[in-house]
């Protein structure tokens, strides 16, 4: 099952469909019951916030629609099959979701594992951004900084370049 979430304050995604992969099917099991979730890759929030406070100059940013940027391997897409119809008069159609789906228990692992792989593959070109991507990300938020304003600006530029190499965009800078 799914439901719509209306967010008028977020122009790029005013309406978002949220899937409930924990809802049991006719056999009593849900998709989340069957998926392997992978190990916990998420950093401890307290540690992350303490490290954030050590910088003289800090900034935060959000990875825009992170899950929607990550493609699921074609052989795994059958596990994200949905049925849909656009109106009561239309026939029911079957679709496969191609990207990581919010609400699926494996989504946090898949997203963070993708960011780690990007840091490994492209990080030698952006060493400061690589360390940030590996240690200063919480869900889809980057919380980091540097000892000088110039270093913070350089880190920001490196982060943008590194994430762009993986098709990710940073936004909501603070």
The tokens of 86 are what?
Answer: 């656009």
CATH code of 46's domain: 3.30.70
Q: For 12-38, what is the mean pLDDT? A: 84
Within 8 A by CB and 6+ apart from 95, the residues are 81, 82, 83, 84
* Range of lowest pLDDT (2-11, 30-39, 79-88, 140-149): 2-11
Could you list the residue range(s) of the whole structural domain that residue 106 is in? 2-171
- Identify whether the C-beta of residue 104 lies closer than 8 Å to the C-beta of residue 7: no
pTM of the full structure: 0.84
pLDDT of residue 12: 64
pLDDT of residue 163: 97
* Range of lowest pLDDT (79-83, 126-130, 162-166): 79-83
**Of the spans 25-34, 98-107, 128-137, which averages the highest pLDDT?**
128-137
78 or 14, higher pLDDT: 78
Percent of the chain with pLDDT over 90: 67
Q: For 7-12, what is the mean pLDDT? A: 72
* Range of lowest pLDDT (8-17, 27-36, 148-157, 162-171): 8-17
CA distance linking residue 16 with residue 23, whole number of Å = 19
The structural domain count of the chain equals: 1
pLDDT of residue 13: 66
Give the angle subtended at the CA of 89 by the CAs of 92 and 17, to the nearest 5°: 55
Q: For 3-20, what is the mean pLDDT? A: 75
């Amino acid at each position: 099952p799914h439901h719509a979430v209306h967010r008028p304050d977020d122009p790029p995604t005013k309406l978002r469909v949220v899937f409930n992969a924990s809802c049991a099917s006719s056999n009593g099991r849900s998709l989340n019951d069957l998926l392997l979730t992978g190990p916990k890759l998420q950093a401890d929030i307290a540690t992350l916030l303490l490290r954030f406070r050590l910088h003289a100059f800090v900034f935060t940013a959000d990875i825009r629609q992170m899950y929607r940027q990550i493609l699921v391997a074609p052989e795994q897409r059958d596990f994200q099959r949905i049925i849909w119809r656009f109106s009561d008069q239309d026939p029911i159609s079957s679709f496969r979701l191609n990207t990581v789906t919010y609400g699926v228990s494996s989504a946090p692992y898949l997203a963070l594992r993708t960011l780690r792989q990007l840091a490994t593959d492209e990080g030698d070109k952006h060493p400061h951004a690589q360390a940030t991507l590996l240690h200063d990300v919480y869900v889809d938020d980057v919380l980091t900084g540097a000892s000088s304003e110039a270093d913070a600006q350089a880190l920001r530029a490196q982060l943008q370049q590194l994430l762009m190499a993986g098709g990710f965009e940073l936004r909501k800078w603070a």
